[in-house]
Amino acid sequence: MTTFIALLRGINVSGQKIIKMDHLKSLFEALPFQNVRTYIQSGNVIFQTESSASEKIREQIEKHLEKNLGFQVKTILRTRKELESAVKRIPFQENEYSKENKLYISFLSQKPNAGLVEKLISFNNEIDEFRPSGKEIYIVCKKGYGKSVFSNQFLEKKLDLISTTRNLDTVQKILEISKNESPD
């Protein structure tokens, strides 16, 4: 069994695409998934499945959600091991972020084009700074994510891919929950 984390893009934000977590959990349980858990309203679903075909699973989730909810929900999928790796690869030192200067991780649908990422460097500023690594963009926001230039919409437009962002505390809690499911 492989433990996956589905990070749903743009649900329960500003009164749009509202999904209750118990309903979301039941939708995932209708798929060939076990040990389904959700964490907070931003659309984080932890589950296990026999399959390890990430792209096929992601497509299955998106089709199932659109059919049952009536709107599209873009999904970023990571295995627990990939999520652990993303945390281990944080390219900032711990003294570079804090409760005031929060660290966010933008999870991307694929590894971005290096040339496009290079063009983003000029957008680093005194309020926020980004650093890429693999299929993630790490952002330290000194004035809060809501004021960051590195929003999901910005990253999606500049990198031509899908992005969804979580703060480090949320990612660590998701990992904690996923470790309680199974030792894989």
Beta-bridge partners for 139: 104, 130
Tens of pLDDT along 86-115?
999 999 999 999 988 999 999 999 999 999
Beta-bridge partners for 136: 107, 133
Amino acid at 7: L
3-class secondary structure, 92:
coil
Beta-bridge partners for 45: 6, 38
The pLDDT assigned to 41 comes to 83
Residue 42 pLDDT level (bands cut at 50, 70, 90): confident
CA angle centred on 54, ends 50 and 57, rounded to 5°: 70
CB-based burial, 45-56: b 16+ in 10 Å, e otherwise: bbbbbeeeeeee
Give the architecture (CATH level 2) of 2-83.
2-Layer Sandwich (3.30)
Q: Answer yes or no: same fold for 2-83 and 91-173.
A: yes
Residue 18 pLDDT level (bands cut at 50, 70, 90): confident
Q: Which residue has the tokens 């990612």?
A: 171
Regarding beta strands 44-49 and 75-79, do their DSSP bridges make them parallel or antiparallel, or are they unpaired? unpaired
Q: Could you tell me the residue ranges of all domains in the chain?
A: 2-83, 91-173
Top pLDDT among 81 and 180 is at 81
Local structure of residue 9 (DSSP, 8 states): S
The pLDDT assigned to 13 comes to 78
Asked if residue 78 has pLDDT above 80, the reply is: yes
- The pair phi, psi for residue 154, each rounded to 5°, is -60, -50
Tell me the two tokens of residue 156.
Answer: 């999606």
3-class secondary structure, 28:
helix
Asked if residue 37 has pLDDT above 60, the reply is: yes
The pLDDT assigned to 15 comes to 75
Short-list 84, 184, 101, 108, CA closest to 139:
101
CATH of 91-173, picked from 3.30.70, 1.10.1070, 1.10.12, 3.90.550, is 3.30.70
- Chain centroid to Cα 103, Å, comes to 13
